[in-house]
Chain A
């Protein structure tokens, strides 16, 4: 489904990613973990088109998307990116945020169906549907960002640090929602710092350090890996 080959990217003269290669197959739930500043978010931004790659390939469903404009990648290629800063429309209601999530879908009935699905996934959002997004709590914002991200019925979902700043029980809620999404057939690439939980729920994982992939493999095996255990799990 998604394939990165020798991707180099960065901001201006600062190169962040060095020859990053990874792939996510259809229906897989893959994690990208690593320390602060390793380039995890940059990887997702480059895939979604917000950062232009210096060199290398990004293929989605077999066709190249590297260098394409961000709005075209999400509108034409079925990719949805849920950023770390969420980028919610804070002056609009929850309902309007969700409608904007379905901006590329013109069919009203389809919009409503997906919205019902989102409200089922996060009943809290339904209670607050007329409230301004800027007045929601941290956890509710995460839910709204994820809900808005899936309103476009993406086949590929990039999620950046959904657990950041959340209480542990809310974190679990968010992870459960991602699992539900995966079961409904969405392919997910998840960036996380919460390595322990992430490796327990994902199929495979990549470890990114200083802009390079240093480890990859099935999540269960990575949990037992010496390097991962000492650097990320603290055991």
Chain B
């Protein structure tokens, strides 16, 4: 058995309703007091008057970044403390800077400056800037499981040896979108959430941030060990959990297996326990199925913190760490009368008891489930990592699909071979027929594009089973749904909004739809990291395949939205505004014929220095050409940078002038490169370039640099 590095938790940081740091949360858990009240961050009158949320109040900072960013910075600073800078960051968030976007939209602003924090990536980038992080800076957006999924990705990154010190967690501020969105679904409890109560009437939407510093070689005292993680997808419904908790049980089982423990080893379960009728019923069934009788002590802490959405998994991992450190079983605050139908009995009040192993559950829209196991450092012998770093293995590309302004992959390839442009918007006719209209009735442009890509790539792969893992990248997510939601809200003086648009607006809505379409119950990840979204989806797929997934569907796409895209995306402001994307089915390299690809890295270093870091040897000897994507609006992709890479003597081809400016064009590039190495010709330069080595390097030079190589 290979020696895997263990993920030691050596720092924690938190903000949630009632606590602005770890010490305050420790006190709050010992003496729980609910602090639910109507939001003050935006007006709540008429239909929403008096409805409580869990707001934190004034934040101890004078920073002028949006509230989610402030929450993330405060919690992350507490977790990192005075220790060395992390070498990777993974943030789970769903709201990003939307509170500021909402204010700008309400004020009728058409200035891109007012919207510059809308991208979810800006949260992680602000942390990267604060700590000087050199390696991957990732954003996971899988609704209410985001931070727990981020923990799983951080765990995998550490185990892979690609990073030694990973800052991981989640942050979400209260905003109109989530408050009114959950209200339109009739999921907000009028008197505050009461998880597991027989009269439970919904959740209490909250805000907060929770971060953990994971280290493979601890630089300071160990607080806990992240022992295992488990991901799954219900593939059942866009917003409701599987009624029997099937997906939840799958994720719990995977987390226990990953930690190498049995159910009887668990001393405490921190439930997802939102207080909605459906969640608590499904989760209780899942827990009973896995643990049988007697159940370990369990509780939901959301009756205390409210539901901080993407931050929940981070805050609850901090709570698990406190539970282990303090020997404290947290109470199921807010419970008045237990629902006997659930057949679970939660911890009534804060209880002192030894806690060595905690399971923490987080579930989200799209049937997205993530469970993590944290253990006391003494629970198992501390195995130390041998310190070797390993790159990620190459993957075989079983199939590829793409959409550009000229159509699908064969049409795009033909246009490129003719020297024609593929810049512009994907014509509706290219993708609307690929997915049955009844399935897609409620879906707008992005999910339809993604479903058509998924369907095309999956069918072309010849696979008889659903993909083992789905990894989606999208910088902007479902902008039409987000815009329509906010437009209707503001048109009605903040009274009415669309539940359909709310469910569709979450970044992982397309990934959930793809899982439904293909029946894919495996890990389901969505990366929203600007121009790096595709590269990060590919990294997640690579880590998942290394951990045993049988196959992965990797998709990245953007859908142009006429109001928001010009305001949000610098690349949409020039003459090359485009949309589209691509999908690849990738497998472990089994030696079968076909193109290969490999994620090489992500770095803060500019292009030329980044290429040096990758230690690829002589570029001229290794590659036929270097492809460079230069996102508009980033100084990193200057002519000087390009010239310095070109000095390495390898033919250099810039891609966005041929394929258009959108954040997921990287996926399209890789789909075309996979075909190029197979056909032995590259159609992206001034004229088709014959390939001798059949190996190409692709660099994306945006906010940070990423590299992927494609070869035959």
Task: Please indicate whether A and B come from the same complex rather than being unrelated chains.
Answer: no
Instruction: Name B's A-contacting residues (CB within 8 A).
Output: none
Instruction: Name A's B-contacting residues (CB within 8 A).
Output: none
